[in-house]
Structure 1
Amino acid sequence: QTGGIADFSEYDQGYRGGKIKVRAKIEIVDKKSLVIKEIPYGTTTSSLMDSIVKASEKGKIKVKQVVDNTAKDVEIMIYLQPGISPEIAIDALYAFTDCEVSISPNACVIVADKPQFMKVNEILKYNTDQTVKLLKKELEIRKGELMEKILFSSLEKIFIENRIYRQIEECETFEEVISTTDKGLKPYKKQFYREITRDDILRLLEIRIKRISKYDSFKANEMLRDLEKELKEVLHNLKHLTDYAISYYQNLLDKFGKGRERKTEIRSFQSVTATEVIANNQKLYVNREDGFIGWGLKKDTFICDCSELDDVIVIRRDGKALVSRISEKVFMGKDILHVGIWKKGDERMVYNMIYSDGKSGKSFAKRFAMPAIIRDKEYNLDQGNPNSRVQYLSANPNGEAEVVEVKLSQSSTARKKVFDFDFSELEIKGRGARGNTITKYPVRKVDFKEAKGTTLSGLDLWFDEASGRLNKDKRGKHVGKFDGDDQILAITKSGNYKITSYDLNNRYEPEKTILVEKFNPKKVISAVYIDGESKQYYVKRFQIETTTNDKEFGFISEGIGSRLEYVTTSDTAEVEVELVKGKGKDKETEVVNLEDIIDVKGWKALGNRLSQHKVVKVKPVEDPEDSGLEEGDDENELVESPSPKGKTTGSKDAESSKKKSETDREEASQPSLFGETKRAESPKSSPKKPPLVPKKQAVAQASLFGEKESVNSSKPESKAFTVGDSIELDL
């Protein structure tokens, strides 16, 4: 076994069409190097290195050097070229090399002399049923053997102890010997499970005189007891055949499983999109006048770095948009206004456009996105009329808006020939929308005047703990809304923190990361850690003061064995501590508020000891379940009713008063009254209905528990009380 990581989400129990994705285990050494510690099943270190070198030669991943340091354990060092992100390099290795391989089981077996595709579960069930049948046959065979052994041992014992062999001394023929022996065994035949045959008697007569003379009755009885004990066990296994089969498999596992444990870690991970992680191995150029784009036009205008898998979008002066796969030289149409890399599903790329309609002569403004297209198909961004012309166009990666200055033709009859237009007043619509009319007069020129912020709401992100990635698909824990310069705070179990951007390509090692959330520099981080040297628990509270991105900073002691036990950015940081006080061995549990132990200090401070006593265990305080009421509230949240001592009545008070009732009438009336109270206690069951207990009744009920209240009980017992009636009882 070679180890690595395996994703069985598409396994489909090994059925035809299912597959397993197996990855190498890659770790980040520093910003310039990676190390492969485990390789996927079916690969070798040499084949893996060859695939990395080929991907580097094709420009799909920028690697400076690959070194194989494998000895007892696998160790392949990968040194990256300057400026390459280690996280993106890991994804590129998975996308373009044998660091990720796909295995298709396609389990085909012979059933009833015919090949058949079956799921692994079905194969296991079939084989298990066959094994159970074989085990049953083995037990039945063993049962027969034991019963025969017990029968012959019993015959032998009777033959020798009762001296039947003496009776055959005077017999003259062999048939007479057999008949005499059979007659001697006749009184004992009923205790055997089958009839005594001639062969049994012949076997008895073959016993040598030497063995008869040395016969030990005690040993014979011991042997019979052992045989009967084993037979009893066999019968029990036959009766409990399933349990016996389970123990059989468990014995196989104990006997042959040692040293053959699974090394591959089972984990769910996201598929890597090649276009997102491929290195920019080409440069995009454009000839706007002639209408050509590609990486071969090195004498023309440089646009940006790109890869050979990218799609390029072009918007022309005539209001047409076209998306095509990049190549060395592609004709996209003359008079190009905008050219850039198009990303599928990118709804935050917003285009702001002003165009003049060729039919009506009016000018329109629109904002639109193009998240989905058909490659090499022309789209009309205007109304499709001849002689339409785009006056202004801007591409905004995060939905930004701007203010432009519109200048009308001097020959127009408009009183105001220059005015401002704000794109933030427009809604973002589809590419086919006509847009809003801004003027009916001919436009001479549109100039950029002032930039404004984004008009899009923040980007909601979630953190998937299984894959260690941020996503927009609502997988995992919600991190927050991100916009502009927002950042991510990641804290590892080794006591390091790192501030990163919210790029979806960022990767946070799931087994090493303990906290991922939106970074707020004003928040206080509360942490509990074990110091490796003193083996003591320490508490520290600090604010992040560093501003360097993508760099890890250690905030706990650097001794061997130091590790982070608990960390939070909550305003109320509490932990449950298990202590051993004094010399006794009894453990005590206390809830500790970390604010009471230490004030906020610098991130490099050592911190204070968690407790002067021996700390056995630390765990976070679990949040109480949501009961529908605020903390400290009871059923009187519906109706406020003052009592003589300022206490509120509750279900516990009702039970105690019920126990203290002295008359049968009180015992009969109180449950009905408190039944109404209990219905009012749970507003969660019917949140839209009005409270069942009116205020008048609640006041009357509260007076039942007053110590100074004395009420004359003169009402007839037969009266039926309804909701809203006052009840007067003499307590």
Structure 2
Amino acid sequence: MKENEENNEEQHKNEEGKEKLTNVIPVSGMYENWFLDYASYVILERAVPANEDGFKPVQRRIMHAMKEMDDGRFNKVANIIGQTMQYHPHGDASIGDAIVNLGQKDLLIETQGNWGDIRTGDRSAAPRYIEARLSKFALDVVFNPQTTDWQLSYDGRKKEPVTLPVKFPLLLAQGVEGIAVGLSTKILPHNFCELIEASINVLKNKKVEIYPDFPTGGMADFSEYNDGLRGGKIRVRAKIEEGEKRTLLIKDIPFGTTTTGLIDSIIKANDKGKIKIKKVTDNTAKDVEIEVQLASGQSPDITIDALYAFTDCEVSISPNACVIIDDKPHFLTVSEILKRNTQDTVELLTRELEIRKGELMEKILFSSLEKIFIENRIYRDIEEAETWEDVINRIDKGLDPFKPQFYREITEEDIVRLTEIKIKRISKFDSFKADEAMRKMEEELKEVEHNLANITDFAIAYFKKLLDKYGKGRERKTEIKNFDTITAATVAANNQKLYVNRAEGFIGYGMKKDEFVTDCSDIDDIIVFRRDGIYKVVRIDEKVFVGKDIIHVAVFNKNDERLVYNAAYLDAKTGRTMVKRFQVLSVTRDRDYDVTKGAKGSKVLYLAARPNGEAEVINVKLSNSSRARVKVFDYDFAELEIKGRGAGGNILTKYPVKKIEFKLLGESSFGGLKIWYDSSVGRLNTDERGELIGSFHGDDNILVINKDGSYELSSYELTNRFENEKIELIEKFDPNKVISCVYYDGVAKTYYVKRFQIETRTVNKQFLFISEHRGSKLEVVTTEKDPQLEIVYKKGKGREKETSIYDFDMLIDVKGWKAQGNKLSQYDVTKIKLLTPEKPKEQKKDFKVGESVDLSLPDKDDDQITLF
């Protein structure tokens, strides 16, 4: 019996143990559940904004708390933080930072005191020293208790909005950035006015394209914006101008940077030798201004490019539009967000109209009941009633004849309200005033019903009203531009010197006792040719072994299509000497390439690198023991075509060569360098982008005529920068061309005509050819041959307008560039238009065999050709 009892007890214990084990949750499972809960909480309740109103929870709670406190006066931010803590469970620091962030965006909150500066990175004063209140825009657009969905606060004591009924694309206007668990969002701020116009276009079913606008200004290239989706990119640049006395002025800074951080990046780049400057000064006050003093001998244009390449003067921003929709994160384009916000606005306006419609209908109904109750003296019927139920029944019976005219049934609650009318109001009841009040309400009701029936037009009018009321002073600050791609190696300052030990086969910038080659930067690639025909491209360093017997070393510029190598080499397999012309456009770094055909014992006898593709004449001396009749002869590389680097070349001679020497440099195989001007980026290029300026050789220059009445000669270096918005005319400079122009003289208050030739030859210096008065302005200018001018002026007593056309050369002769010119007209000129004579059309004619064709110029008659 005891054994059975013991067995039963053990079995019972085992069963209890199994039950306990089945209820045990392993630590890994707990971690997984808790982590998912935490991640969901951070995403939904802290880091990512809701699509409906564009607020993170802390921002929404701040706005709700400020609305509860709002009495039109400023409140201490410390008090606002305290009020918000009733709804937000994460402490005062996070609330204070969020309030400052909202205040600095200058849209929803009016601020007072030191709120910091996003441009300089200065922090705001403590919450007890700064004040805030809701802006008029926020009061108009963000709040409406009747259309707000409510929920209990975290402690259940108060109610807070689920989302605020924002009737505006606020999410895109303010922008937002947040990092959650495994998820982030970065929506950039957009322009207030452009968003409203875009919402109107959405309602009109027009195509919408919107780009960010940053409060720090600057310039931005949105060509890879990708509508705000993940994977897109924006390049933002500071505005840099050339100042006086070899200085550069940084006027705006890229979004997300500060003047302090920008200056630090400039100093760091200078310390590393990427740029060369003397001094950086922060003159920022009301407007941003950072002054950069250039080191002697430094080009302003190249330094500007270097600032963009190596400092925070250019930054890349990657947008990532993620929002909460139906308690789930969604990745959308900014166009989709705008459409959703616009539709949300339409729905909120519809709800407000429907609420107003219901209110008006109820007011009209009760006003009608009141009028019937008083005018038909129904109130007298209740004098004999003894109970409350009898009172209600008597009034209800008195209203029976009028009930069909009401839009709904009359309830007991309506009758009770009639009994609450005071005798004083009954005695002073004015039927006319009552009818007038109802008429106004009925008119408003018709208007509301009309707006509901035409809700799209009503929403468009609403947005236009917002634009008129709040759009002033909110114009675009960031300039939309297309940026050129800056190659870092091209603009890096030459902060190192390249040396070579040809015999031992070393190159580098740390070999100061060896042969100096050229100045370079520490990010350059170097190309090296050896006597055995092997060449390679290597990254520069203090000391790099590249192989013995170096014959040529230089900085390598990838894809330089004008650099040509002229070479002669001995092919060891055949014993012949070969010649070839080739280019090295792109190679794999540290890989060996061969000038020869690769036979063992081959070697290079002559090599020259010609930067403009020049051919050349060499003098060849054969070995004295060779059987050739002519042992000394010249060879012109112009006879060879330029081919790829792997081509074998042509035979120079089959006899042994003793020596090859350079004799004469020939002309470029490419002719002049064709230069294009891309007005969208204000840069020159050889990629056929923009307008062809011309073909350039040697010391040729570019002529730039500015809208302010000045001209400037510039080189055709591709690193030059031009401010296209200031340029009136840009072309290849021809000293024989005549410049014809008309300008308004601010002193004489009249128009002058002028013709002159460029007499100066100073490059990169502006010369003003109109009067210096600030009221003076250039009207028209041209370098065309035989231009004409159409002038509209007022003449005579009736002051009627007359139009005349003149040739420029009839108005004035060619004079010096400093000459004032002649007065254009003695009458009041109202319009000036430049006319360019049309080129005569070619007359097409069929010619017969044997017929003489006149090909003479206008002043010749003896040049003829006969077709056979």
Q: Secondary structure, in 3 states, of the residue corresponding to 1:413?
A: coil
C-alpha contact 1:143 1:235 (8 A) present in aligned 2: yes
Q: What runs of 5+ residues in structure 2 fail to find an aligned partner? A: 1-214, 848-868
Comparing 215-224 with 281-290, which one deviates more in the overlay? 215-224
Give the equivalent residue in structure 2 for 1:245.
459
Give 1:12 shift.
Answer: 1.0
Give 1:489 shift.
Answer: 1.0
- Are residues 1:600 and 2:600 paired? no
Give 1:281 shift.
Answer: 0.5
Give 1:254 shift.
Answer: 3.6
Give 1:180 shift.
Answer: 3.5
- Are residues 1:615 and 2:829 paired? yes
Q: Secondary structure, in 3 states, of the residue corresponding to 2:404?
A: helix
Return closer, same or farther for 1:465/1:296 CA change in 2, 3 Å cut-off: same
- Are residues 1:375 and 2:586 paired? no
1:630 to 821, 841, 847: 841
> For residues 29-178 of structure 1, what are the structure 2 equivalents within 5 Å?
29-30=243-244, 32-178=246-392
Give the equivalent residue in structure 2 for 1:550.
764
- Are residues 1:219 and 2:433 paired? yes
Question: 1:658-677: per-residue Cα shift (whole Å, max 9, x none)?
Answer: xxxxxxxxxxxxxxxxxxxx
- Are residues 1:277 and 2:488 paired? no
Give the equivalent residue in structure 1 for 2:648.
434
Question: 1:336-370: per-residue Cα shift (whole Å, max 9, x none)?
Answer: 11111110110100000111110101111111111
Give 1:186 shift.
Answer: 3.0
- Matches of 2:594 and 2:628, distance apart in 1: 29
1:297 to 511, 525, 542: 511
Comparing 482-491 with 384-393, which one deviates more in the overlay? 482-491
Give 1:583 shift.
Answer: 6.1
Comparing 190-199 with 277-286, which one deviates more in the overlay? 190-199
C-alpha contact 1:350 1:367 (8 A) present in aligned 2: yes
- Matches of 1:584 and 1:187, distance apart in 2: 78
- Matches of 1:583 and 1:235, distance apart in 2: 60
- Matches of 2:320 and 2:801, distance apart in 1: 55
- Matches of 2:773 and 2:546, distance apart in 1: 62
Give the equivalent residue in structure 2 for 1:21.
235
C-alpha contact 1:31 1:85 (8 A) present in aligned 2: no
- Matches of 2:548 and 2:845, distance apart in 1: 73
- Are residues 1:521 and 2:732 paired? no
Return closer, same or farther for 1:234/1:585 CA change in 2, 3 Å cut-off: farther
- Matches of 1:35 and 1:592, distance apart in 2: 45
- Matches of 1:331 and 1:310, distance apart in 2: 16
Aligned residue identity for 2:250:
I
- Matches of 2:430 and 2:687, distance apart in 1: 82
- Matches of 1:154 and 1:590, distance apart in 2: 76
1:389 to 603, 624, 627: 603
Give 1:89 shift.
Answer: 0.9
- Matches of 1:288 and 1:338, distance apart in 2: 9
Return closer, same or farther for 1:630/1:31 CA change in 2, 3 Å cut-off: farther
Return closer, same or farther for 1:108/1:391 CA change in 2, 3 Å cut-off: same
Give the equivalent residue in structure 1 for 2:476.
262
The alignment of Structure 1 onto Structure 2 pairs a total of residues equal to 633
Question: 1:635-669: per-residue Cα shift (whole Å, max 9, x none)?
Answer: xx7899xxxxxxxxxxxxxxxxxxxxxxxxxxxxx
> For residues 193-208 of structure 1, what are the structure 2 equivalents within 5 Å?
193-208=407-422
- Matches of 2:406 and 2:846, distance apart in 1: 85
Return closer, same or farther for 1:585/1:222 CA change in 2, 3 Å cut-off: farther
Question: 1:483-517: per-residue Cα shift (whole Å, max 9, x none)?
Answer: 33322111111112111111110111122122111
Aligned residue identity for 1:33:
T
Return closer, same or farther for 1:350/1:156 CA change in 2, 3 Å cut-off: same
Question: 1:178-227: per-residue Cα shift (whole Å, max 9, x none)?
Answer: 33433433333232222222322222222111001111222212211221
Give the equivalent residue in structure 2 for 1:462.
676
Give 1:542 shift.
Answer: 1.0
- Matches of 2:845 and 2:380, distance apart in 1: 104
Give the equivalent residue in structure 2 for 1:718.
none
Q: Secondary structure, in 3 states, of the residue corresponding to 2:235?
A: strand
Comparing 483-492 with 318-327, which one deviates more in the overlay? 483-492
Q: What runs of 5+ residues in structure 1 fail to find an aligned partner? A: 641-731
Give 1:612 shift.
Answer: 2.2
Return closer, same or farther for 1:135/1:424 CA change in 2, 3 Å cut-off: same
Give the equivalent residue in structure 1 for 2:445.
231
C-alpha contact 2:787 2:836 (8 A) present in aligned 1: no
Q: Secondary structure, in 3 states, of the residue corresponding to 1:327?
A: coil
> For residues 281-680 of structure 1, what are the structure 2 equivalents within 5 Å?
281-582=495-796, 587-621=801-835, 630=841
Comparing 25-34 with 6-15, which one deviates more in the overlay? 25-34
- Matches of 1:236 and 1:460, distance apart in 2: 65
- Matches of 1:44 and 1:586, distance apart in 2: 59
Give 1:622 shift.
Answer: 8.0
C-alpha contact 1:406 1:446 (8 A) present in aligned 2: yes
- Matches of 2:691 and 2:603, distance apart in 1: 48
- Are residues 1:2 and 2:216 paired? yes
Q: Secondary structure, in 3 states, of the residue corresponding to 1:600?
A: coil
Return closer, same or farther for 1:256/1:378 CA change in 2, 3 Å cut-off: same
Return closer, same or farther for 1:369/1:230 CA change in 2, 3 Å cut-off: same
Give 1:550 shift.
Answer: 1.6
Give 1:144 shift.
Answer: 0.8
Question: 1:604-650: per-residue Cα shift (whole Å, max 9, x none)?
Answer: 111122222223343444898x9xx939x9xxx7899xxxxxxxxxx
Comparing 272-281 with 580-589, which one deviates more in the overlay? 580-589
- Matches of 2:366 and 2:792, distance apart in 1: 67
Task: Kindly report the root-mean-square deviation, in angstroms, between the aligned alpha carbons of the 2 structures.
Answer: 2.2
Q: Secondary structure, in 3 states, of the residue corresponding to 1:601?
A: coil
Aligned residue identity for 2:765:
K
TM-score relative to the length of structure 1:
0.83
- Matches of 1:574 and 1:292, distance apart in 2: 66
Comparing 82-91 with 593-602, which one deviates more in the overlay? 593-602
Comparing 106-115 with 171-180, which one deviates more in the overlay? 171-180
Q: Secondary structure, in 3 states, of the residue corresponding to 1:566?
A: strand
C-alpha contact 1:582 1:613 (8 A) present in aligned 2: no
Give 1:30 shift.
Answer: 3.7
Give 1:51 shift.
Answer: 1.4
Comparing 30-39 with 271-280, which one deviates more in the overlay? 30-39
Aligned residue identity for 2:540:
I
Comparing 210-219 with 239-248, which one deviates more in the overlay? 239-248
Give 1:576 shift.
Answer: 4.1
- Matches of 1:411 and 1:8, distance apart in 2: 70
- Matches of 2:409 and 2:377, distance apart in 1: 21
Give 1:582 shift.
Answer: 4.6
C-alpha contact 1:268 1:466 (8 A) present in aligned 2: yes
Give 1:116 shift.
Answer: 2.4
C-alpha contact 1:533 1:560 (8 A) present in aligned 2: no
Q: Secondary structure, in 3 states, of the residue corresponding to 2:809?
A: helix
C-alpha contact 1:406 1:445 (8 A) present in aligned 2: yes
C-alpha contact 2:784 2:836 (8 A) present in aligned 1: no
TM-score relative to the length of structure 2:
0.70
- Matches of 1:577 and 1:105, distance apart in 2: 53
Aligned residue identity for 1:491:
I
Return closer, same or farther for 1:560/1:318 CA change in 2, 3 Å cut-off: same
Question: 1:508-538: per-residue Cα shift (whole Å, max 9, x none)?
Answer: 1122122111111111111222222233222
Aligned residue identity for 1:23:
R
